[in-house]
Amino acid sequence: MAETTTAALFASCDLPQAWAGQNAWRILETRFGEGLRFLSTWRAWKNDPQRPRLLHYVSLTQAPPPLDELLACAAPYPELLALAHELAPQWFGLLPGFHRLTLGGGRVLLTLCVGELTTLLRQQQFIADSVYLDPAHPDSTEFAAWDIWTVKALARCCRRGTGLATTVDISDDLRADLTQCGFEMGARQTEPATGPRRDPLTGQFNPRWTIKTTRDAAPGRAVEVGSCAVIGAGLAGASVAAALARRGWQVQVLDQGEAPAAGASGLPVGLVVPHVSVDDCPLSRLSRSGVRLMLQQARSLLQQGQDWDPTGTLEHRVDGTPGLPLTWPMPGRDWSQVSTPDTASRQMTAGGSAPAWTHGMAAGDPAIWHAQAAWLKPAQLVRAWLSQAGITFQGKAPVATLRQNGNEWELLDAQGEVLARANRVVFANAGGALPLLEAVQTAQPALDIHVNQLPVMHGVRGQLSWAMHARAIHSAFPPFPVNGAGSVVPVVPVDGGSAWFIGSSYQPDTKPASPDEKNHAANLGRLHKLIPTLGQALAEQFAAGPINAWKNTRCTTADRLPVVGPLHEADNPSLWICAGMGSRGMSFSVLCAELLAARWGAEPLPIEAGLAQSLNALRGSAATACDI
């Protein structure tokens, strides 16, 4: 059944001919169901030598099927089952909202949108090439309530020529609404004897009226793929380069340092962990999406156990705030009941009840277990991204200014030597971006870069304290990373053995830099609050030394959200920024890169449009309220 249904849908949308050789193909499915249409389409893409470079599949659902149901439905079809197993590790935390699942080596992008149908359709910011219409499963009430407003919202996602196909019976009312909203519907074939219709019913968006330009303006047109220079080879720049290279761009990444990750991204190890707040503010929601995308990248590019480890992380809320009763990342479970990964006896507590992880924390301390969290060595990931096809790295290349030459930008050093030429430029040079932009603006006032509308970015110095473990790891170390007041990453493989890392100091760079010893003391002070027993156990070592220091400067914004978007308001803005990652570059960099690349390619966004807007570069400097 699945085979014939999807083959029929495919043929009705003129696939695979229509997508042959395209840069991207965007399918909108109005109901995910058990996922068979998605799996079959992915398989067809995989087996087609003429497949488009990117397959975007945006699917809507009121509630995603549980993983076992998805696997069970695919079980009769071995090829689909294999794909379902590839999907399985990403099938978690599918709360209401948009979720981007990256598959097929980053070239099959499933955006699963969970919520109410009409609202979800209105939130879409892309134009579909094909629509799979499934008004409702005959045995379910999911999305049964189609009305003219739903159809109007669907039509908003279509261009002239968007194919529409359905293999279930649709009501006469829905058919009339589709026609009224500009779809030319094919003739019904046979009347169903009993049960649901399985003949493909085809349609095409081809209204008799001129399509309004206001709706065309929202998603924009895809920029022609060409060359791009990225300034800065940290997490922000390298992730932008990789996202663009996957879409066929030739990318040159320049850095003033000799090697990649010369700035804050040279951090020996850091945590990829979501932010949690009582009101689930934009920072929290964005960090969840970002962590999901970062873990997907780590899984596909890094060596587990050596470069990263999805150990999970315990967040100890030292200020006593309980945070959200999380259903993410463990759907359906209250975090207060969640046990730590290695032993069920180590129970988290939601204030007041049974003692938590007894070695480290006081009885009744609130904590959150983040199952979908990891430690990661960012420089390894930066190197992995930069080694991808289509990307070249140029070190010792300090960009001092830019000048326009035809449809290209020339990037110049302080001596006026041309370092690179490209159609587009992305400023991913963290704290170096604003001074460079000011220099460009001064040299070329006609450019009208809105530097003063960018959020103010501040430098915040930070220092990690670290040392090698003795032959035996001290029993006071937790079995997984802990954060909440600074952080502890207990065991990380390094040259010559394994090491612990405790961080991180936090000091504005407007003040004179503190000596290393003072920063070590500040880190130890936070550790005493985070895990008192470990603080006591390491106090002597901190006093006796030597403790190693790693330090650098974070680039932060007042609202703690990164800055991503065009820098000027041209028709086709060619200067973009991706910076301001603050203390969460490992959670935000991939999300920002995907957002930038999606906008350039007029692709579906990986997150809701409203959330994406909160990252806009020209959002001004107003702070967004966030409790924690």
Interface with ligand FAD by CB under 6 A: which residues? 231-237, 254-257, 262-265, 267, 270-271, 378, 397-399, 428-430, 432, 436, 462-464, 503-504, 552, 554-555, 579, 581-587
Give whichever of 170 and 437 is closer to ligand FAD, judged by the CB atom: 437
CB of 19 to ligand FAD, least distance (A): 34
- Cα–chain center distance at 24: 19
3-state secondary structure of 401: strand
Give whichever of 135 and 270 is closer to ligand FAD, judged by the CB atom: 270
Give whichever of 34 and 307 is closer to ligand FAD, judged by the CB atom: 307
Give whichever of 194 and 415 is closer to ligand FAD, judged by the CB atom: 415
DSSP string, 150-210: HHHHHHTTEEEEEEEEE-S---HHHHHHHHHTTEEEPPP-SPPSSS---S-EEEEE--SSP
Which is nearest to 466 in space by CA: 490, 445, 484? 490
Give whichever of 430 and 524 is closer to ligand FAD, judged by the CB atom: 430
CB 288 within 8 A of CB 274: yes
Tell me the H-state helices in 124-186: 148-155, 172-180
Q: For residues 378 and 588, what is the distance between their CA atoms, to the nearest angstrom?
A: 12
CB of 206 to ligand FAD, least distance (A): 46
Give whichever of 235 and 615 is closer to ligand FAD, judged by the CB atom: 235
DSSP string, 10-75: HHHTTTTGGGTT-SEEEEEES--TTSHHHHHHHHHHHH-TT--SEEEEEEEESSPPPHHHHHHHHT
Give whichever of 581 and 612 is closer to ligand FAD, judged by the CB atom: 581
Give whichever of 167 and 505 is closer to ligand FAD, judged by the CB atom: 505
Q: For residues 246 and 407, what is the distance between their CA atoms, to the nearest angstrom?
A: 23
CB of 586 to ligand FAD, least distance (A): 3
Q: What are phi and psi of 413, to 5 degrees?
A: -90, -175
Structure tokens at 14: 């003129």
DSSP string, 290-316: HHHHHHHHHHHHS-BTTTEE---EEEE
CB of 578 to ligand FAD, least distance (A): 8
Instruction: Report the chain's terminal Cα–Cα distance, integer Å.
Output: 50
DSSP string, 103-119: EGGGTEEEEEEES-HHH
Give whichever of 237 and 360 is closer to ligand FAD, judged by the CB atom: 237
Q: For residues 534 and 129, what is the distance between their CA atoms, to the nearest angstrom?
A: 57
Q: For residues 480 and 488, what is the distance between their CA atoms, to the nearest angstrom?
A: 9
Tell me the H-state helices in 207-266: 213-217, 235-246
Q: For residues 103 and 105, what is the distance between their CA atoms, to the nearest angstrom?
A: 6
Q: How far is CA 355 from CA 317, 338, 348, in A?
A: 14, 13, 8
CB of 183 to ligand FAD, least distance (A): 45
Give whichever of 168 and 254 is closer to ligand FAD, judged by the CB atom: 254
Strand-pairing partners, residue 466, are: 501, 548
3-state secondary structure of 371: coil
Q: What are phi and psi of 287, to 5 degrees?
A: -65, -35
CB of 392 to ligand FAD, least distance (A): 14
Q: For residues 621 and 556, what is the distance between their CA atoms, to the nearest angstrom?
A: 12
CB of 270 to ligand FAD, least distance (A): 3
Give whichever of 166 and 289 is closer to ligand FAD, judged by the CB atom: 289
Give whichever of 349 and 429 is closer to ligand FAD, judged by the CB atom: 429
Which is nearest to 373 in space by CA: 337, 345, 347, 335? 335
CB of 110 to ligand FAD, least distance (A): 25
CB of 232 to ligand FAD, least distance (A): 3
CB of 261 to ligand FAD, least distance (A): 6
Give whichever of 106 and 503 is closer to ligand FAD, judged by the CB atom: 503
CB 501 within 8 A of CB 485: no
Q: For residues 47 and 26, what is the distance between their CA atoms, to the nearest angstrom?
A: 18
CB of 489 to ligand FAD, least distance (A): 8
CB of 498 to ligand FAD, least distance (A): 18
CB of 159 to ligand FAD, least distance (A): 36
